[in-house]
A and B are shown apart, each in its own frame.
Chain A
Amino acid sequence: MKRQLPFLLVFLFGAFMVFQYYVPHESSEFVYEFLLDWVMIIGIFALALGIWSLYTVSVDKIRHKKENWAYSYVTLIGLFIMVVLGFTYKVGDSWGFYSVFVISLMTLLGFLIQTSVSKDKGLWLGLSGLSLVVALGIAFTDDSWGIAFMTSEGLSNTMFTNFADFVLTPILATMFSLLAFFIASAAYRAFRARNILATLLLIAAIIVMLRFNPYMPFGLPEYMAKTSNWLMNVPNLAAQRAIVIGIGLGIVATSLKVILGIERGYMGKG
């Protein structure tokens, strides 16, 4: 029962989605939209599991003083400060008590981590109790903060957007730009005319890369541009289509195997 029921569910929902595809009627659409919503909602619950996993792995590193354990503090601080900023906002212009509130929450979390990793539990527990009191004190007595986000005042939590704009975006863009370097090093390392396949790869890449090179004699540049256009439009189209057909059939076959319960590897051994 424990093992078979999930596969029965897979079959039922899978078969339903196949039938649903042929029924344009509103009621079928209605159920379809429900199901898609559910998948998203379950995903958020799973995200909580993920965050928990990130937290335990980091704390575990600190506790056992594994290599580079100190950096786990950076991860945890980044994680918690974003969560706090994402769920609260300051009312009005004054930073005053709001920043104390955020800081006391952060120290609370820091002390709690210390409590779980350190031997001297009493001291850290006491300290976290203290910061909890401070945070609660501000939370109940001061009205300089609120818990809302979708409303226009929550969106203007400057520190949340600042973190997104000045920490997330630059790192993301820089990671992305590393591709320029790696594309160069990959080309250098791998484009060797070892055999016929590697040679074809190499020649096609060089023709396309030279498509706008002006320093060539005998009207070669124009020829290069035309050839690379042709390469991108004709053989490329053919190869893409062949791959798409293959992938499509692979997806279809795997989906079918999943629905029929033939393929069970994704849930451990069935």
Chain B
Amino acid sequence: MKVKLLIMVVMMLALSSFCFAQDNATEAGTEDTDTTAVVESIILPAPPGNLTGIDKPNDHGHAAILSWDLSPDDGAGENSVLKYEIYKWVPQLMLDINLVRDSLSVIQRILRNTTSGITEGTQADSMKIVFEKYSRDELFDIRNTLIAHVKQENTGLAEASNSYPENGAWLFVDKKPSGTKSFVHIGSKDFKSAGFVPDFANLYYRVDAVTIDGAKSSSKVLGPIQTSGQWYNTYRTPVVFSVLFFTLLTIYFVREARKGADLYVRPLGGIEAVDDAIGRATEMGRPILYVLGLGSAADIATIASFTILGRVAKKVAEYQTELLVPTYDPIVMTVAQEVVKSAYLDAGRPDAYKEDTVHFVTQSQFAYVAAVNGIMLRELPATNVYMGKFFAESLILAETGALAGSIQISGTDEIAQIPFFIVACDYTLIGEELYAASAYLGKEPVLLGSLKAQDYAKAAIILLAVIGVVLAQFEFGAAFVNLFEVAN
């Protein structure tokens, strides 16, 4: 019962401060010009001409693109235009809803104890005074009811905007410096937000040219236009073609490989070293340390690393050496446990698998490094393998490993860290070699097939680049380059 009463209070408040709000709305755009010293004779600039607008294509809706011709006094003529102000017409209903939205945000601030920023004497302040009288429980109720109310009212917006130009007001949207000819009005899709622009509702815009003195003249009103979301992003068509190209290429080569085609793969130093390194560890009776890096299970570098870990773990199980896998990310830990466990199973030694072979350390970059450093100096692994995503810690790890006298094999796709691994490790897989390694180690024809597809894609890039460089010398070459520009 109480809640119903409160809605009434809020609505009353809304109505009473309506005039105030409207003043606010129209003045918002001029806040930095209204302080200008009074100038005796105000000369109006010529208005911007030919205002046009469309729904912003290939988006989720709620956005429109406006464009206009510069005012004759912008950069020419009197040269007096300082900026353009963009205004949007909204129905009375929208203004009402905005007031409720404002009160919602005040309630939110009260609930979060962040009302200190509200200046005295403003509309928000008077709302604050009203709402602060209620308990938290009541405020939660009020809040939920108001949200439901806003949601309900929003459905009427499209219809209300048909009443143009009656029953509404111009709202300031944004300002742009002189020389600007277009503006993308990206509204919010959240109906609770003040910047909400409803889809499929009539929108009206106008653009004012404003001089230094604050004198302004308005363009003709644009409208009605409507915004909406699209179901297909045409800008991304080049990506569709490349997805198809790449997928078909991969599937073709995988099939070829399955049929038994002989596929050559060039040797990778780092990968050939892995087997030797495991043998060495066995001879020395020391463990092998495998570091998966700081990536999450979602990073493809980590996924590639899992495949390599599987091979290493299998070899380790066969040779009966000890394996240490400290991890940084808990999900990576879970996956790595699966991988190592099934590798031991494959090697026929499930009994040798210990649950703490793969263990979690901490999810803090340098704490993880400190712990791994400790392992290196105390367990003295014969071989350290670093595969995956690495950041600043790469050099700390690799140098400590070198200090402990371990053979070190690394691979990462973080370009900034490759130099450090190259300098400090015995073998380094550079960038793409890491991904190739996972296919190479498997020696499975299907995986090798996809390497072949990658190589064809590279050949395509080189070919296109050569054609492009030749065409770039001519005027019409630009069209070719544009084929590879994905706008959004």
Contacts and interface: CB of A to CB of B under 8 A. Distances in A.
Interface of A: 18, 21-26, 29, 39, 42-43, 46-51, 53-54, 56-57, 60, 67-68, 151-152, 168, 171-172, 175-176, 178-179, 182-183, 185-187, 189-191, 201, 240, 243-247, 249-258, 260, 262-263, 265-269
Contacts of B114: 152
Contacts of A53: 330, 333, 356, 359-360
Contacts of A23: 231-233
Contacts of B424: 182, 186, 189-190
A216 to B, nearest CB: 25
Contact of A24 (B233, B431, B446, B461): B233
Contact of B113 (A152, A240, A250, A262): A152
B423 A175 contact: no
A244 B450 CA distance: 18
A29 B60 CA distance: 8
A250 B123 CA distance: 57
Contact of A25 (B230, B361, B392): B230
B392 A47 contact: no
Nearest to A258: B303
Given A24-B60, A182-B399, A46 B331 contact: yes
Contacts of A254: 300, 303-304, 435, 438
A155 B327 CA distance: 30
A39 B330 CA distance: 13
B298 A175 contact: no
A24 B236 CA distance: 10
Given A175-B369, A256-B250, A265-B307, A250 B458 contact: no
A246 B411 CA distance: 14
A270 to B, nearest CB: 9
Given A250-B435, A254-B438, A201 B423 contact: yes
Contact of B366 (A172, A249, A253): A172
Interface in B433-488: 434-436, 438, 442, 446-447, 450-451, 453-454, 457-458, 461
Contact of B307 (A42, A46, A251, A263): A263
Given A250-B304, A269-B343, 17 more contacts: A23-B231, A23-B232, A24-B230, A42-B331, A50-B360, A56-B356, A151-B113, A168-B364, A182-B396, A186-B423, A201-B422, A243-B415, A262-B446, A262-B447, A266-B306, A266-B307, A269-B345
B246 A256 contact: yes
Interface of B: 58-61, 112-114, 189, 229-233, 236, 239-240, 243, 246-247, 250-251, 254, 296-298, 300-301, 303-304, 306-307, 310, 327, 329-331, 333-335, 338-339, 341-343, 345-346, 356, 359-367, 369-370, 378, 392, 395-396, 398-400, 402, 413, 415, 418, 420, 422-424, 430-432, 434-436, 438, 442, 446-447, 450-451, 453-454, 457-458, 461
A244 B461 CA distance: 12
Q: Which of the listed residues B296, B345, B395 has the most CB atoms from chain A within 10 Å of its own CB? A: B395
B413 A249 contact: no
Contact of B333 (A49, A244, A249, A258): A49
